[in-house]
Chains A and B, each alone.
Chain A
């Protein structure tokens, strides 16, 4: 362990970690737009600058490892002045259309503008104008809102191992783009969307569905594969409008395309809404793949459907014995549902004819 002094207070810390890591561990606020603890340090946005005793110029906290006896100042008028200027410069080339921006209320840049009380633009000049639309169906890419923090580029390469995007061109014309400025064509995991500090990257299926106000957040688990990723459902007026995942869970908040963008089925008009009873007899001779058709059924009340099932099951059990009945349970249902389903077959029907598709 080594000793460092931050804003006059002494801390004992592990050698080799960065100033920003020490600050985070000790709940000392240092603003940043380009850092994420799950990515390699980058030093792009320069907002995390701090002063170190004995060094002539401020250094970035995210890329500077602590050394024994280091004395660090994280905030004073000089540093905050520099930080405010950095935010003003970013905002001078930003649409500043927070009123209609999807990200409002959840935007790191908006928060910093608020924090530094920035109302006017002292650096009026040319602004980047990008008119071409990316037509991929998953991710809205508005590069006028991009602050070039590079998080999307790094998460795509470091975490996802894909490298679908890079920062192309230099200086004022620099921009994040897929190769040859084509439409994005990748795994569409949306890791970039989840990590973007501004409204530059948004999920297309969530656009216009609602921002932060009145959104309820419910912690649950993904319904697709067996990874069991934790996800947060953003619900507005009984509709899931967005899915996110917290970085502090066992999979560090990363999701895949199905988990992040595959929730639309919940509200599908095709959902079954009432019990159905068959009216058209089955064509026993056809081995063809059946075509689902609601016209083969009529709607029924729950009481009618449940009575019918109970009567038929009782009748078949009485006539052929309980082993003439079998149940297939589901790897999609909960533990509790699976438990009572097998209990139903064993204790109520009286057979061990119960299985599920784990075998497949």
Chain B
């Protein structure tokens, strides 16, 4: 998100889900949409049925490849090289939209062009493993489309150069003028029901609600007036930094609401050690998760069906959730709990209903000031929606970019932090599968899902399996520099040679025992979950 916010001035999906159907070209990169955003994938399939071309760039043969006209199977971590060589072809063949570049962008200069020069399709092929003909074809298809949409997820962002990847994507859209109009844009698909909302609400160390920077004095003043207290000056710690600080003994207490970082964060051993170092850990959740298991106090919270409030989906659509059932036992909703702790610490919040909080959010962040609970009764509204008579905004940047002009960025390909070597010859990439969800706290308690998909597995290419003497269903040990796990081998052509995939849902063989917490993107501190080098061997019982 930090990447898009830098080049456009706003970090969110530029288009809405129904618009996907009218794309005439879809470029899906680093997103297993059919499994992770199943309903968005349905729109993509409709677009293809209506005649759109579909390009997929993914190291794995993801299910959506079945509908694709072109599949670029690049090596994990080589996205910048792939995207830059596509940009190279677009520039070289004169397929850029000059008028758009002149009026709406900045940074399209010598330096930008000179940097692209070295990313010839041949160079692209050498780094990514994608045949140059396919790179050229992708460039032509993308540049010649009228309404091209790019869709990406964590396959782009979970890298030590994640923001570079996003910049390289934005460059493509800016070169071809695929922004600021219906069914054309740059669309990060958000992975959880309210990721968009929790970012919007300022649950980040450098921004208040509405992406307003904590370091700007006038903004700090505004929030001090709104909340009636003095506020801290300096930026806080990111999630990954918190764990390092905890491990070093400088961070003393943490309060974790509805997350399970022990399973979802990279390098489980590090996460566990860091959290155990804390003097005091509070976890608020609906189940006794692996993270709650090491807490000092665990508070029982309510789930989505037991409370009122709003979620904001991946296309910026604010929607009401409604209480349907009573919570179990003495479980309480998060708002009541925070009200109570806050009161005990001498600050009265006293919100009686979520609507009161929403109205305060409207005062803090003008982009949602026009969204009210009564309007939401008639359906969701997409922000920006500044006034009560504003209809909401299906696609962004119609009249230009919030930061004035869209910015080109000079991006150089950097290899991932870990590269295969003799000890760890395979690249591990992690992700989700259709049936389970995240750390499995919810889906692993659904009997039907567990009946079919309860077992962790590692996807291995048949040729690699042959070399290692591994057959489908064999038990294997996968090790990285941080740890090892034991699980079933699924021999499949989904990954190419040298690449293996493990879903991170299963505590029995937690993929994040293997991943690296130290390889962080310098700008937004996202860890490199998509490229870890590992070794694989047939498991022998001791």
Question: What residues make up the interface of A, taking CB atoms closer than 8 Å to B?
Answer: 136-138, 158-161, 187-189, 204-205, 216, 218-230, 233, 235, 238-240, 249-251, 254-258, 261-268, 270-278, 282-284, 286-294, 296-297, 302, 305-310, 312-314, 316, 319-320, 322-360
Contacts and interface: CB of A to CB of B under 8 A. Distances in A.
7 contacts: A137-B451, A222-B193, A225-B193, A273-B328, A274-B329, A289-B268, A342-B209
Contact of B236 (A188, A267, A348, A355): A355
Contact of B315 (A228, A319, A351, A360): A228
A287 B253 contact: no
B91 interface: no
Nearest to B158: A360
Contacts of B237: 326, 353, 355
Given A221-B193, A352-B232, A289 B254 contact: no
Contacts of A296: 293
Given A272-B285, A272-B288, A277-B297, A359 B320 contact: no
A264 B447 contact: yes
Given A205-B448, A326-B251, A344-B338, A226 B203 contact: no
B231 A290 contact: no
Which of A233, A294, A340 gathers the greatest number of chain B CB atoms within 10 Å? A340
B298 A276 contact: yes
B331 interface: yes
A254 B287 CA distance: 29
Given A228-B319, A328-B242, A360-B158, A268 B445 contact: yes
A337 B309 CA distance: 8
A278 B313 contact: no
B157 to A, nearest CB: 8
Interface string B377-393: 00110000000000000
B317 interface: yes
Interface string B169-213: 000000000000000000001111111111111111110110000
Counting contact residues on chain B (CB < 8 A from A), the size range is: 35 or more
Chain B, interface SS category: mixed
Interface in B224-281: 227-232, 234-240, 242, 245, 250-259, 261-265, 268-270, 272-273, 276-277, 279-280
* CB-CB nearest 9 A-B residue pairs: A228-B313, A273-B329, A334-B309, A330-B258, A352-B236, A226-B190, A272-B300, A310-B344, A256-B38
A302 B336 CA distance: 11
Contact of B331 (A225, A262, A271, A288): A271
Which of A264, A351, A354 gathers the greatest number of chain B CB atoms within 10 Å? A354
B525 interface: yes
B108 interface: no
A314 B361 CA distance: 27
A332 B194 contact: yes
B236 A326 contact: yes
B341 interface: yes
Interface stretch (B350-358, B418-426, B468-476): B350-358
A29 to B, nearest CB: 26
Given A328-B239, A334-B311, A257 B435 contact: yes
Contacts of A238: 325-326
A312 B280 contact: yes
B120 interface: no
Contacts of B309: 334-337
Contact of B325 (A188, A251, A266, A352): A266
B215 to A, nearest CB: 9
Nearest to A297: B298
A316 B257 contact: no
B23 interface: no
Nearest to A357: B259
B255 A327 contact: yes
Interface in B442-472: 442-443, 445-449, 451-452
B113 interface: no
